[in-house]
Amino acid sequence: MAKLKSAFFCQNCGTQFAKWQGQCTACKEWNTIVEELVSKPDKNDWKATTTVKTKNAKPLLIHEIDSAKEARLDTFDAEFNRVLGGGLVPGSLTLLGGDPGIGKSTLCLQIALKLPYKTLYVSGEESQKQIKMRAERINPVNNTCFILTETKTQHIFKQIEALEPDIVVIDSIQTLQSDYIESSAGSISQVKECTTELIKFAKETNTPVILIGHITKDGNIAGPKILEHMVDTVLHFEGDRNHVFRILRANKNRFGSTNELGIYEMQGTGLREVSNPSELLISEKDGELSGNAIAATLEGVRPLMIEVQALVSTAVYGTPQRSATGFNAKRLNMLLAVLEKRAGFRLGAKDVFLNITGGITVDDPAIDLAVVAAILSSNEDEALPSNYCFAAEVGLSGEIRPVQRVEQRILEAEKLGFSTIFVSKYNKISIKPKCIKIQLISKIEDVVGFLV
Ligand code: TYD
Ligand code: MG
């Protein structure tokens, strides 16, 4: 048994120190250093029995390097493939983070069950029975999906050696424990050590590994930041737990773009891939209602038509209330001020509530014009034609500003049968769509003229 030893680690960057100090000298964060028990590993190979033959790397001329396209393992999940950039790369480590209960385990189990390869799903959180119950809801098809409940990495690797799976899923990295480190599971040194062992395993056997990671209160993956540097791909699974939509995003991807987005819908039978989200995000209703406007937004590179709902009413209390769900409240106040100053609407004494339907949070500035239109519509209690949509940013002086990729938004709106799209006059548009009218506007007064 190795001698017990403790060391101090920065929780932010994972740097090790001999003694405690208030500020980490590496990342300059304060109060992030904690003591953890460690014992020096005697040999920290993922397979302690085999000696790895290391070839000495030689520098190669760039044109001599074989640029053959990375082979990809199809995950049989169009949304997951899209976010990964075409499938899992052999030997890669993918870290999937997200809030508790958002559906990380469901997503991974579902993928493991869809694959026609030999997969090993290792869970340190649930029993085999619990996983079986979940699998029954999802309706399994894969006859070669093995479930292992284990937290010791050395035992996991022993099983992997016997089984030789094509894909390994670990649920979750925070529950793993390596014998080489004394500290408890989930501590920084354990997370780092277990990830290092998994990376070695993945690279040496060319097996893709998907790791599930917990996230902290502020939305970062729990454990040292260095974890995100170590793995090849970092995915985030997000959404509002009370709504059915889940968004899968790549925050880092060594093999593809980070602009892609996957959308799922949580159902009683697992997660359903949503290939045309716009149709689902626009709520169906009988007749036109005031206070609703549709924005042609972009999430990453994907166009999304989103419904904005506003309610403007006379303030009941002395101070008018402003509240926004899914939209920045400061931005809402700014747009109200612009409407008051540039278009003469006296909204100062009114309560204004704003809601983005579907439980989605939108950062795209192109939603501004739809927010303004929804507020105007509610204020006047006049419904907008349901086949109008909007894509422009509103500036402080009431100017309608251009947005990026406007043509993509126009085509999406046309595809969904909208008759008119309002965009900035300053956008350069070279397409001439047949079925949709492009209404160019330059000032907020123009919008008022069209809508009120
Ligand atoms: P889970 O996948 O365990 O989340 P995580 O691993 O991210 O903590 O649970 C997701 C939630 O989804 C859970 O509250 C139950 C629900 N759920 C469904 O609505 N339908 C289903 O088919 C399944 C399997 C889960
Ligand atoms: Mg889970």
* Nearest atom (ligand 1) to Cα of 102: 7
Q: How much is the pTM?
A: 0.77
Four-CA torsion 339, 452, 381, 312, nearest 10 degrees: 0
Which helix H or strand E contains 154, and what residues bound it?
Answer: helix 153-163
Which helix H or strand E contains 354, and what residues bound it?
Answer: strand 350-356
User: Could you tell me the pLDDT band of residue 318, with boundaries at 50, 70 and 90?
Assistant: confident
User: Could you tell me the pLDDT band of residue 50, with boundaries at 50, 70 and 90?
Assistant: very low
CA angle 34-18-190, nearest 5°?
50
Chain centroid offset of residue 361 CA: 12
Write the CATH number of the domain with boundaries 73-273.
3.40.50.300
**How confident is the model at residue 56, as a pLDDT?**
67
Cα separation, 320 vs 352, whole angstroms: 8
**How confident is the model at residue 45, as a pLDDT?**
53
Q: Evaluate whether 391 touches 329 at the Cβ level (below 8 Å).
A: no
The answer, yes or no, to whether residue 185 has pLDDT greater than 60, is yes
Sign of CA dihedral 243, 244, 245, 246: positive
**How confident is the model at residue 160, as a pLDDT?**
94
The answer, yes or no, to whether residue 371 has pLDDT greater than 90, is yes
Mutate to test the pocket of ligand 1, among 96, 102, 106 (most ligand atoms within 8 A of CB): 106
> Which residue would you say has higher pLDDT here, 239 or 211?
211
The answer, yes or no, to whether residue 402 has pLDDT greater than 90, is yes
Question: Average pLDDT, stretch 265-292?
Answer: 80
Contacts of 368 (CB under 8 A, 6+ apart): 331, 335, 392, 393, 394
What's the gap in Å between 216 CA and the centre of ligand 2?
15
Phi-psi sector, 208: left (phi>0), alpha (psi -120 to 50), beta: beta
User: Could you tell me the pLDDT band of residue 139, with boundaries at 50, 70 and 90?
Assistant: confident
What's the gap in Å between 13 CA and the centre of ligand 2?
25
Ranges of H-type helices in 282-421: 329-343, 368-380, 406-415
Q: DSSP for 48-99?
A: TTSPP-PPPP----GGGS--PPPP-B--S-HHHHHHHTSSBPTT-EEEEEE-
Does the beta carbon of 100 sit less than 6 angstroms from any atom of ligand 1?
yes
Partners of 248 in beta bridges? 237, 262
Does the beta carbon of 102 sit less than 6 angstroms from any atom of ligand 1?
yes
* Ligand 1 atom 1: residue of nearest CA: 103
**How confident is the model at residue 399, as a pLDDT?**
94
Which residue, among 40, 308, 301, 316, has the nearest Cα to 189 in the 3D structure?
40
Q: Return the ligand number nearest the Cα of 215.
A: 1
> Which residue would you say has higher pLDDT here, 38 or 210?
210
Write the CATH number of the domain with boundaries 280-451.
3.30.230.10
* Ligand 1 atom 21: residue of nearest CA: 270
Mean pLDDT taken over the chain = 87
The answer, yes or no, to whether residue 122 has pLDDT greater than 60, is yes
The answer, yes or no, to whether residue 51 has pLDDT greater than 60, is no
Range in 166-175, 218-227, 378-387 with the lowest mean pLDDT = 218-227
Annotated binding residues for ATP: 98-105
Question: Average pLDDT, stretch 154-167?
Answer: 94
Cα separation, 44 vs 183, whole angstroms: 16
* Ligand 1 atom 10: residue of nearest CA: 103
Partners of 303 in beta bridges? 298
Q: What is the largest CA-CA distance in the chain?
A: 81
What's the gap in Å between 303 CA and the centre of ligand 2?
30
Question: Average pLDDT, stretch 144-148?
Answer: 92
Question: Average pLDDT, stretch 258-280?
Answer: 84
Contacts of 436 (CB under 8 A, 6+ apart): 410, 413, 414, 418, 419, 420, 421
CA angle 317-322-328, nearest 5°?
165
ipTM metric: 0.96
pLDDT above 70 as % of the chain? 92
What's the gap in Å between 185 CA and the centre of ligand 2?
16
Q: Between the CA of residue 240 and those of 101, 106, 247, 357, what are the distances in Å?
A: 10, 16, 10, 11
Annotated binding residues: 98-105
User: Could you tell me the pLDDT band of residue 275, with boundaries at 50, 70 and 90?
Assistant: confident
Does the beta carbon of 213 sit less than 6 angstroms from any atom of ligand 1?
no
Does the beta carbon of 98 sit less than 6 angstroms from any atom of ligand 1?
yes
Domain residue extents for the chain: 1-40, 73-273, 280-451
Question: Average pLDDT, stretch 176-184?
Answer: 86
